[in-house]
């Protein structure tokens, strides 16, 4: 506490310097911060513009890869469509074994001639005839049977759109060990329009990924999404096969608006969104750039902040030196004024320094001469302050008491016991009527006992009758006066702290006369505390950490403020044996308003 007061005094004595210094420092920091943020923002915007141009070119390169593959597929498709041998093999029926073997040999020769067109892409080529003929150029790539392929949905789609080359997505299933994109085209007899087979170009998603793998990273994702919103290929394997309608919508918006990129929020992140429509595939090639990750790799925020911090520190040091010189004379005056704390009221301060300092010193010396006339007023103010402290201590007990009581009432109402809850509410009303009335007045021991019984009723209704409470009140003490809420905090402490290990026990309240004093004792056989000897009125303040309740901590101080240091609280406790609290008050039988240290009125 002494260090805090000393620091506060130093701060107060140098308030002008502190204010000037803080204003300059805040200004420097604000300007530096704004410049730093603006520089980072401008660098980020410039980079994103440049990065978008670079990625647009990358998308164009990727698009060329897809177009090259599409051209190879179309070229191979046309060769198959125009090949009479393949058509003959796929339309022949009712052949014997020798003829069938010759047909497979013939179609194999033709397929081997056409296959190199797409072989470099590690794609496969399969032809399927309506006559149950199937020729697979790479059976290990896709070990599919005629029946399984004939009944597959991609074949049905080709039959439904015989004039269109379709690129269709097949997810990883028992039918295929990994996702595939299959280009399919129905083989049609031009003269009659009859479909005699289907041509397939399956390529694994991992091979398709080679078209753009070199342009991707963790922060730079590429997605190939079809017209249904399904991700058919991506460097982020977790997205493959997922439907993402929002990404498809964004891709269409970018295409229709003819913009290079768009800032979007998808997959729970902020991205720079670019897309390119692939008409041959009827798909969108989407590029997602994680803005935050890219900018973090680009801009070394830590380095920039350290540089800014160094500039700020250097500026602060310069400001400190200049401000200190400007306020030095005022600081000396403040040190002279600080001698008032030593009650050197007659010692004038030297009128030196600048013009402003001399004027202040002169005014201070004039004030010092007048100060003696107000000493008596200061003394009176201190007496009033002591009375205010008493009032504050009294009012600190009420909120603490009310909080715990309301908690008990709430718990009982939650139990649903209507009759007991009603009794508890009546008891609470009685307690509140007494506690919220004028706290500066005393009440009789009889009324205090009634209030304590109401408090006990509330707690026993909540916790049961395991804790028995007995009252032993001397009849000649019933009309004796005592301050409100003097005994209640100790009963509260017994209920909430004395029986944590023991579940049953007793609390006894004894009130009697001891000479010219009123003696109140609260005794329990609860858990007790590990303390040595008794805690008397003299050392109670140093040991008050033994009790956690604010009411208990304040009772002793309240009594001594009211009646003097010879009265107060004594505590005796022993582990497992219980605790005894003794409260001594002056004997008083006439009700009156309390005032600090009016002890003579109690004798």
Q: Does 509 lie in the same domain as 390?
A: yes
Burial 504-525 (b: 16+ CB within 10 A, else e): ebbbbbbbeeeeebbbbbbbbb
Distance of CA 343 to the CA centre of its chain: 53
**Domain membership flag for residue 442:** yes
Judging by DSSP bridges, how do beta strands 467-473 and 195-204 pair with one another? unpaired
Pick from 479, 480, 454: which is nearest to 469 by CA? 454
Q: Does 529 lie in the same domain as 399?
A: yes
> Cα torsion at 174, 178, 180, 186 (round to 10°)?
-30
Residue with tokens 């009789």: 444
Q: Tell me how far apart the alpha carbons of residues 246 and 258 are, in angstroms, rounded to a whole number.
A: 18
Pick from 369, 372, 327, 328: which is nearest to 348 by CA? 369
Q: Does 207 lie in the same domain as 76?
A: yes
Number of C-beta neighbours around residue 447 at 10 A: 17
Share of residues in the chain with pLDDT > 70 (%): 71
C-alpha count within 13 angstroms, C-beta hemisphere, residue 501: 9
Of 96-110, 317-331, 490-504, the poorest mean pLDDT is in: 317-331
Q: Does 282 lie in the same domain as 389?
A: no
Question: Which one-letter DSSP state was computed for residue 503?
Answer: S
Instruction: Considering only residues 395 and 563, tell me which one the structure prediction assigns the higher pLDDT.
Output: 563
Let me know: does 537 contact 568? Beta carbons within 8 Å.
Answer: yes
Pick from 431, 481, 480: which is nearest to 455 by CA? 431
Q: Tell me how far apart the alpha carbons of residues 73 and 50 are, in angstroms, rounded to a whole number.
A: 35
Domain span holding position 468: 380-602
**Domain membership flag for residue 223:** yes
Share of residues in the chain with pLDDT > 90 (%): 21
Q: Does 551 lie in the same domain as 458?
A: yes
Report, as an integer, the average pLDDT of 351-357: 68
Residue 602 confidence class, pLDDT cut points 50, 70, 90: very low
C-alpha count within 13 angstroms, C-beta hemisphere, residue 138: 16
Output the domain CATH number for residue 78.
Answer: 3.30.450.20
Give yes or no for residue 97 having a pLDDT over 50: yes
Q: Does 210 lie in the same domain as 62?
A: yes
Q: Does 397 lie in the same domain as 284?
A: no
**Domain membership flag for residue 132:** yes
Of 212-226, 380-394, 457-471, the poorest mean pLDDT is in: 380-394
pLDDT at 543: 41
Residue 547 confidence class, pLDDT cut points 50, 70, 90: very low
Residue 141 confidence class, pLDDT cut points 50, 70, 90: confident
Burial 208-218 (b: 16+ CB within 10 A, else e): bbebbeebbee
Of 296, 327, 350, at which residue does a domain stop? Answer: 296
Q: Tell me how far apart the alpha carbons of residues 14 and 454 are, in angstroms, rounded to a whole number.
A: 57
Phi, psi at 547, each rounded to 5° = -115, 140
Phi, psi at 178, each rounded to 5° = -150, 160
Q: Does 224 lie in the same domain as 80?
A: yes
**Domain membership flag for residue 116:** yes
Q: Does 453 lie in the same domain as 597?
A: yes
Distance of CA 503 to the CA centre of its chain: 40
Whether pTM exceeds 0.75: no
Instruction: Considering only residues 177 and 297, tell me which one the structure prediction assigns the higher pLDDT.
Output: 177
Q: Tell me: the pLDDT tens digits for 30-48?
A: 777 777 777 666 666 666 6
Give yes or no for residue 79 having a pLDDT over 60: yes
Q: Does 398 lie in the same domain as 292?
A: no
Report, as an integer, the average pLDDT of 224-250: 90
Give yes or no for residue 548 having a pLDDT over 60: no
Give yes or no for residue 343 having a pLDDT over 60: no
Mean pLDDT of the chain: 78
**Domain membership flag for residue 134:** yes
Of 296, 318, 335, at which residue does a domain stop? Answer: 296
Q: Does 385 lie in the same domain as 273?
A: no
pLDDT at 340: 58
**Domain membership flag for residue 433:** yes
Of 271, 296, 321, at which residue does a domain stop? Answer: 296
Q: Does 386 lie in the same domain as 292?
A: no
Give yes or no for residue 316 having a pLDDT over 60: yes
Strands, E, within 151-290: which ranges?
166-170, 180-188, 195-204, 220-226, 231-234, 262-266, 269-278, 283-290
Let me know: does 455 contact 492? Beta carbons within 8 Å.
Answer: yes
Residue with tokens 């002279």: 336
Report, as an integer, the average pLDDT of 156-173: 90
**Domain membership flag for residue 352:** no
Vertex 126: Cα angle to 69 and 186 (nearest 5): 80
Report, as an integer, the average pLDDT of 412-416: 70
Output the domain CATH number for residue 399.
Answer: 3.30.565.10
Domain count, the chain: 2
**Domain membership flag for residue 367:** no
Let me know: does 226 contact 239? Beta carbons within 8 Å.
Answer: no
pLDDT at 503: 81
Q: Tell me how far apart the alpha carbons of residues 405 and 492 are, in angstroms, rounded to a whole number.
A: 9
pLDDT at 403: 67
């Amino acid at each position: 506490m002494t260090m805090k007061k000393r620091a506060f005094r130093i701060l107060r004595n140098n308030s002008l310097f502190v204010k000037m210094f803080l204003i300059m420092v805040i200004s420097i920091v604000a300007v530096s911060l704004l410049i730093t943020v603006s520089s980072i923002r401008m660098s980020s915007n410039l980079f994103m513009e440049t990065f978008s141009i670079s990625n647009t070119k990358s998308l164009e390169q990727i698009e060329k890869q897809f177009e090259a593959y599409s051209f190879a597929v179309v070229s191979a498709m046309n060769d198959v469509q125009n090949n009479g041998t393949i058509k003959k093999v796929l339309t022949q029926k009712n052949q014997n074994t020798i003829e069938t073997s010759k047909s497979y040999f013939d179609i194999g020769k033709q397929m081997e001639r056409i296959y190199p067109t797409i072989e470099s892409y590690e794609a496969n080529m399969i032809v399927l005839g309506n006559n149950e003929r199937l020729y697979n150029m790479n059976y290990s790539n896709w070990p599919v049977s005629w029946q399984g392929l004939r009944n597959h949905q991609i074949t049905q789609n080709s039959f439904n759109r015989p004039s269109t080359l379709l690129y269709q997505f097949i997810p990883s299933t028992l039918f295929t060990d990994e996702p595939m994109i299959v280009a399919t085209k129905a083989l049609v007899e031009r003269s009659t329009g009859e479909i005699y087979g289907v041509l397939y170009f399956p390529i694994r998603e991992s091979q398709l990924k080679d078209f753009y793998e070199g342009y991707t990273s963790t922060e730079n994702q590429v997605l190939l999404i079809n017209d249904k919103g399904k991700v058919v290929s991506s460097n982020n394997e977790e997205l493959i096969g997922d439907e993402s309608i929002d990404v498809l919508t964004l891709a269409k918006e970018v295409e229709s608006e003819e913009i290079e990129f768009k800032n979007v929020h998808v997959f729970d992140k902020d991205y720079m969104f670019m897309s390119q429509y692939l008409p041959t595939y009827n798909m969108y090639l989407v590029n997602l750039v994680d803005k935050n990750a890219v900018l973090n790799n680009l801009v070394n925020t830590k380095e920039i902040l350290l540089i800014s911090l160094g500039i700020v520190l250097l500026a602060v040091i310069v400001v400190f030196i200049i401000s200190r010189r400007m306020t030095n004379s005022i600081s000396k005056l403040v040190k002279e004024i600080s001698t008032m704390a030593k009650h050197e009221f007659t010692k004038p301060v030297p009128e030196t320094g600048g013009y402003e300092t001399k004027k202040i010193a002169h005014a201070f010396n004039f004030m010092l001469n007048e100060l003696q006339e107000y000493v008596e007023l200061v003394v009176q103010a201190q007496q009033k302050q002591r009375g205010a402290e008493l009032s504050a201590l009294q009012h600190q007990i009420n909120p603490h008491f009310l909080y715990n009581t309301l908690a008990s009432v709430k718990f009982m109402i939650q139990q649903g016991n209507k009759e007991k809850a009603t009794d508890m509410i009546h008891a609470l009303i009685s307690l509140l009527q007494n506690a919220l009335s004028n706290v500066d007045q005393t009440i009789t021991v009889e009324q205090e006992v009634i209030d304590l019984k109401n408090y006990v009723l509330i707690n026993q209704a909540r916790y049961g009758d395991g804790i028995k409470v007995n009252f032993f009140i001397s009849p000649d003490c019933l009309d004796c006066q005592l301050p409100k809420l003097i005994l209640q905090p100790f009963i509260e402490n017994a209920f909430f702290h004395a029986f944590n290990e023991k579940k049953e026990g007793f609390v006894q309240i004894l009130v009697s006369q001891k000479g010219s004093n009123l003696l109140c004792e609260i005794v329990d056989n609860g858990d007790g505390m590990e303390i040595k000897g008794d805690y008397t009125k003299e050392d109670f303040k140093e040991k008050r950490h033994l009790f956690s309740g604010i009411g208990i901590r304040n009772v002793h101080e309240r009594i001594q403020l009211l009646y003097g240091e010879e009265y107060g609280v004594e505590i005796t406790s022993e582990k497992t044996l219980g605790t005894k609290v003794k409260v001594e008050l002056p004997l008083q039988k006439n009700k009156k308003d309390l005032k600090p240290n009016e002890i003579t009125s109690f004798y």
